[in-house]
Structure 1
Amino acid sequence: MSSLEGSPEPGQDDQNYDDWYIDDSQEPTVPPHEIILPCFPTLSDGLYHLILASVSLCTLLFLCFLIRRQKLCTSFCWGVPGVLSPLNLLEGSGNNWVPCAAFGLLFSSIFRMLLDPTALNFIPYSDGAHKEFWKILALFYYPALYYPLLASYSVQRIPGYIVGTILSWMHCGALIWQKVECPQTPQFYSYYSLLATVPQICCLILLSIIYPTLLLQKLRQPSHSKQMSERNYYLKYLKKLLRRKASKTSKDSVSIGSQVSLNLCSYLCSSNIGFRLSQRSLMAATVSVLSAYQVALLLLVGFLPTVKKIRSSIDAEFILMLAGFGVPVDEDKAKAVDYIVYYIWTVEVCYIAAMVLSCAVTVTMLLRSLVKHRWALQSLCAGKVTQVFLKPRSLHPSPPALASWMSHISYQAAVTCIGLILQHVILFLVHLIVTFLIIIPIAYGKFQIVLPILERTWPFWLLLLLVTIVQHLSTRFIFLQGSPWQTTNRRVLFLFTYIFLPVNILRGGLLAIARLVISLTFNVIHFCRLDLSLLQHSVQSWDPGYRNYCNFLLLEVTECHPLVTAFCLLLKPPCWKKPDLEEGIHLMPADGRSAKGARSHLARARWGLAYTLIHNPSLVSHRGSRTINGGSPPCSK
């Protein structure tokens, strides 16, 4: 009876149970100031791509009919109009800003499309089951959209420059208009879309400036001015090789500061400005820098806003929760909150510092790869094959070389992205270890982990240090004697070897750890460099990145040899000069004698032919054993 009286009434129990599910007004999980309302710009994504895709198609058709295929390839389709080649990437001459900006624009668009879920909003039903299929189609849509920006430059005429100016202005104006109206988006971070679009805007602004500049230069200068500048570059390079080097009799005294700055400058930028870098390598470096920016931005917006929210939500209830899990906390709850907030802020600082350092290392390695690439190109052009590849190798184009040349820019960008992520992870862990195990324990007395371990194991470390010192001193003063050093006291040497065997095993363990750390650090730092193999010389061919770079280098040398180009320019007179004018006379010293007569013309022509054939690296494997200077070309001196 008492149990029945103590039990709650059925109606009261139901009332309490129903109170749990009363639909009261719930507060939003996100603070009101962080809620980003959907934005609908005046120029929507669908209208933006509809207009620009139509204009790009019309531009391409106009350029195709402006320059007929008959001038490019007479035997194909009877010379009917066709699609223009975007650029002569093997020539290595002309304006390098246009292809660099176009390739950077294309890469930034593809990177945004792959990561930003709103990049395909202009395609109906792009968020359904066929989303990945639409992304695959977008991989070919964006190259077609930006293709006329390159084709306008390849025309090399006033209409092409006018079309390129109008098209670049339309792209740039439409993109800036969209971002000004809707700078914030709810994906990743409120301003991620705006920050990710900055490289596209910069490339479009660059194109919007270059095309009007080229148009003005074309209107002011004669039509053959550009050909003269390109011709002069190759002829000047040939003159530089033929000019005798002045002997250096005295050396000026250089201060230590200037010597250090000179070494740093020579490490990051080559001092040999007479040899031009290939256009393909500059494009690869540009795309790699933009890829590093996109990856760094993604790492920052994916980590820092989340950690900031966690730091702002730390309160006394969080401290009680930690105490409930058995984590020792301070009795003063406010002080404990300040400690945890400070530690989380320290993690943020370590993350940002690691990001800045990894970006600096990546850019430094890319600049160093350009210096190494210029040196490799010039060495191969001079016939020094063994200095570049460390073994004899024929310089002939092949299908793997051509395939590697086509994919080199993409591979370099992808390797740079992965290398930056690896560098950031490693550097972030190093910063955390140094901060929480060394700096904070010494400064605040917290996280005492390393010091207690050192207090318990200091005899072990002292033993290793003493044994190391004894071995080095004994080898220096006891076991090696004489003017040329000779091994003496061999009985004591054998005794020391036997006695120190257990201690040296422990030292070998430390050596193995040091070897692992050094190898990991070296490979992570140089991961983004394809011109440097991460494997030893005997198995360098197993490194796919280095093999891709070697094939790319072979094709660059065989197709862009400056001496061969200079020889062809000497044989083929320019269109603005008379055909019978001899250009080789400008390469000879001005001694005041007349250079007339058929015999002197014939001698100079034969000399130019022989000189070019000697310096052609593709003919090295076909020569005999007796060549000039014992097999090395004259220009290698």
Structure 2
Amino acid sequence: MSRAAGNQTPSGATEDYSYGSWYLDEPQGGQELQPEGEMPSCHPSVLPGLLHTCLAVLSIVVLLLLALLLRRRQPWLHCGHGRSRLPSPVNFLTADGPWTVPTAIFMVLFSSLCLLLLAEAPLPFLALASPSSRDGETEAPRGSWKMLALLYYPALYYSLAACATVRHEASHLLGSTLSWAHFGVQVWQRAECPQGPKIYKYYSLLASMPLLLGLGFLSLWYPVQLVRSFSHRIGAGSERLQGSFPEEYLKTLLCLKKLRSSSHTFKRGFLPQAWICFRHYVYTPQRGFRLPLMLVLSATLTGTAIYQVALLLLVGVVPTIQKVRAGITTDVSYLLAGFGIVLSEDKQEVVELVKYHLWALEVCYISALVLSCSLTFLVLIRSLVTHRANLRALYRGAALDLGPLPQSPHPSRQAVFCWMNFSAYQTAFTCLGLLVQQIIFFLGTTALAFLVLMPVLHGRNLLLLQSLVSLWPFWLTLALAVTLQNMAAHWVFLKTHHGWPELTNRCMLYAATFLLFPINVLVGATVVTWRMVLSALYNAVHLGQMDLSLLPPRAATLDPGYHTYCNFLKIEVSQSHPAMIAFCALLLRTQKPQPCTAPQDGFRLGAGEEGMQLLQTKDSMAKGTGPRACQAKARWGLAYTLLHNPALQAFRKRSLLGAQANGTQP
């Protein structure tokens, strides 16, 4: 009767009840339900494509104005028979010049490329022409558009970087306008849409922090330079400052003997020794030396790459683990029982155990990430010390074991190619090296935590320790074999005679070697395992270090990173030698020969005379202090200093290419 009564209910009521029970979560009015934890797409007031189009047009206009300004300032240069000359974005081989603008530009460029990886529209202004590309209808050509975007962003920031190389009031004004436009657009976009649906809601904002930092610095630097240029006209003062670093290097080099003699007066103590060790392993600025701009850019890009990769690894994994840990219910006990894993009879205890293990996994991941970033940063600091040591040695003409030297002093095609790719290779090696370190260290910390630490703390699941204990005869035999062989080698097979060790008891030595051969095979298997672990850890830590070859010395030239570094050093030394730049600056600023006399009160030596005075001896009253002798000393000092300069060897006569310091031919 109850079934009949139930069947006699109106059909409309039954349908309403069934639909109401099964479709309670159905959105009303045709609205689409957003998945839990997913951020909705942001719709800014102004389309990003329109903003990028305006920035691209403004950059082109600024570049054309800079070209016209450069043509007006330097009309004597043969730039294609009257065609406008494009300014250089960065003077990479300039000895003196601001480091801050190129580093900020490259930091902005690399951060833009990192944001490009997850961008829906590779080229933002394409969304204006084809809005359907957002919805995935044209997914196939998106990869080709991303490859084209790799050329678009350097072209976009070309004008912003070129405004600093022209060094004119108008260029500073254009740079201020362009930097404010870029910075304003970025701040506007981040303020309207601080959250995004990709990976993590704040990933786009956090990843754009180096971009905002670089653009903010440029928006302040250009106005400051504009005010300075209007306050005092850059004329003779700028020419005087152009050779400051090379002249400082030359003075330090020529006064090196005096500095060494005075350094012996310091007392040897704990703090001086600690400071010396610190300077050997951590880069500290030294008087008279300045790293080339390319190395400074590489260090800046390495730091930016560490931040970007670490941020991606952090926000891509940790929030997911936290969501999984927060969503664990008692149903996980049935899931584990399906795989034959029974942690406890109490379901609530199983939930707590699973949450605890997920928390331990999160701790292992974060610890591995911190360790990877710390080691990569320390390797970067240590590499700067190696770069300085190699450059100083090559500046003074020393021969380093950096691969085969070029047969000709002229720059080779391969060396120029390696020099162009050095900073890009260093950035790519750092990113990949940090990723490999994270994987290796995460696996190691997870194995250590779940197989050793947690079983020891809780006193259960001691599988690894029990397996090691069950093999105690094997480990005891190996330990006794190694210990006895070392003791016998020290007390039985060696005998000290007249202060020199000699081999003795050869019959016992031969017998012990023969009898212990099988055991030594097992010892060798253990040692080779340890060798593989050490090699993997060492290569993983130094994967991003280009000044060190990961291959043996005989195969060092097969390492592409080390080969690129060697050719990079050759180009830097041959094209921007500080001694050559200093002497050329002194010769260019010497207008007329002056008498070689000691300076008097109220008389200031010229720039060229100051450079000549550095080459004179302390005894000014010695023999040969006349004008001719002074001129001969200056010429001899110039020839002696520039004898092994690669930048000038190419312009010598063929008979002087192999000349030695004493004038003899090889």
Query: Residues 567 and 612 of structure 1 are in contact (CA less than 8 Å); yes or no, is this contact kept in structure 2?
Result: no
Q: 1:307 to 1:30 in 2, by over 3 A?
A: farther
Q: 1:389 to 1:454 in 2, by over 3 A?
A: same
Counterpart of 1:350, as a letter, is C
- How far is 1:236 from its partner? 2.3
Q: 1:469 to 1:292 in 2, by over 3 A?
A: same
Unaligned runs of at least 5 residues, structure 2: 1-10, 595-605
Counterpart of 1:163, as a letter, is L
Post-superposition Cα deviations, 1:523-568, rounded to whole Å, max 9, x if no partner, equal: 1100001111100111111111111111111100100111111111
Post-superposition Cα deviations, 1:346-386, rounded to whole Å, max 9, x if no partner, equal: 1111111111111111111112112111111111111112x
- Provide the secondary structure at the position in 2 that maps to 1:116: coil
Equivalence for 2:97: 94
Post-superposition Cα deviations, 1:578-602, rounded to whole Å, max 9, x if no partner, equal: 7865433442467677999762564
Counterpart of 1:551, as a letter, is N
Unaligned runs of at least 5 residues, structure 1: 1-11, 633-637
Post-superposition Cα deviations, 1:227-279, rounded to whole Å, max 9, x if no partner, equal: 32332322222122222334355551422x66445423431214633211000
Matched, 1:151 2:189: no
Kindly tell me the number of residue pairs found equivalent between the two proteins.
615
Equivalence for 1:284: 298
Equivalence for 1:133: 144
Q: 1:624 to 1:406 in 2, by over 3 A?
A: closer
Equivalence for 1:389: 402
Query: Residues 436 and 447 of structure 1 are in contact (CA less than 8 Å); yes or no, is this contact kept in structure 2?
Result: no
Equivalence for 2:242: 230
Q: 1:609 to 1:92 in 2, by over 3 A?
A: closer
Is the deviation greater in 320-329 or in 192-201? 320-329
- Provide the secondary structure at the position in 2 that maps to 1:481: strand
- How far is 1:305 from its partner? 1.8
- How far is 1:38 from its partner? 2.4
Matched, 1:610 2:613: no
Q: 1:549 to 1:72 in 2, by over 3 A?
A: farther
- How far is 1:468 from its partner? 0.7
Query: Residues 53 and 145 of structure 1 are in contact (CA less than 8 Å); yes or no, is this contact kept in structure 2?
Result: yes
- How far is 1:52 from its partner? 1.2
* Alpha-carbon distance in 1 for matches of 2:585, 2:366: 53
Equivalence for 1:527: 543
- How far is 1:339 from its partner? 0.9
- Within-5 A mapping of 1:434-445: 434-445=448-459
Counterpart of 1:266, as a letter, is H
Equivalence for 1:57: 60
Q: 1:22 to 1:314 in 2, by over 3 A?
A: closer
* Alpha-carbon distance in 2 for matches of 1:190, 1:525: 32
Match for 2:208 among 187, 191, 197?
197
Equivalence for 1:40: 43
Equivalence for 1:5: none
* Alpha-carbon distance in 2 for matches of 1:623, 1:80: 39
Match for 1:333 among 347, 352, 366?
347
Query: Residues 376 and 388 of structure 1 are in contact (CA less than 8 Å); yes or no, is this contact kept in structure 2?
Result: no
- Within-5 A mapping of 1:122-521: 122-124=125-127, 125=130, 126-127=133-134, 128=138, 129-221=140-232, 222-243=234-255, 244-245=257-258, 246-247=260-261, 249-255=264-270, 259-260=273-274, 262-270=276-284, 272-385=286-399, 387-389=400-402, 394=407, 396-483=410-497, 484-521=500-537
Counterpart of 1:150, as a letter, is A
Query: Residues 98 and 153 of structure 1 are in contact (CA less than 8 Å); yes or no, is this contact kept in structure 2?
Result: yes
* Alpha-carbon distance in 2 for matches of 1:390, 1:533: 11
* Alpha-carbon distance in 2 for matches of 1:272, 1:21: 78
**Alignment TM-score, normalising by the size of structure 1:** 0.89
- Provide the secondary structure at the position in 1 that maps to 2:126: coil
Identity of counterpart residues, as a percentage? 38
**Alignment TM-score, normalising by the size of structure 2:** 0.86
- How far is 1:391 from its partner? 6.0
* Alpha-carbon distance in 2 for matches of 1:156, 1:521: 48
* Alpha-carbon distance in 1 for matches of 2:26, 2:454: 39
Post-superposition Cα deviations, 1:2-27, rounded to whole Å, max 9, x if no partner, equal: xxxxxxxxxx9xx99x9799861337
Counterpart of 2:536, as a letter, is L
Query: Residues 380 and 617 of structure 1 are in contact (CA less than 8 Å); yes or no, is this contact kept in structure 2?
Result: no
Equivalence for 2:562: 546
Q: 1:90 to 1:121 in 2, by over 3 A?
A: closer
- How far is 1:147 from its partner? 0.7
Counterpart of 1:53, as a letter, is A
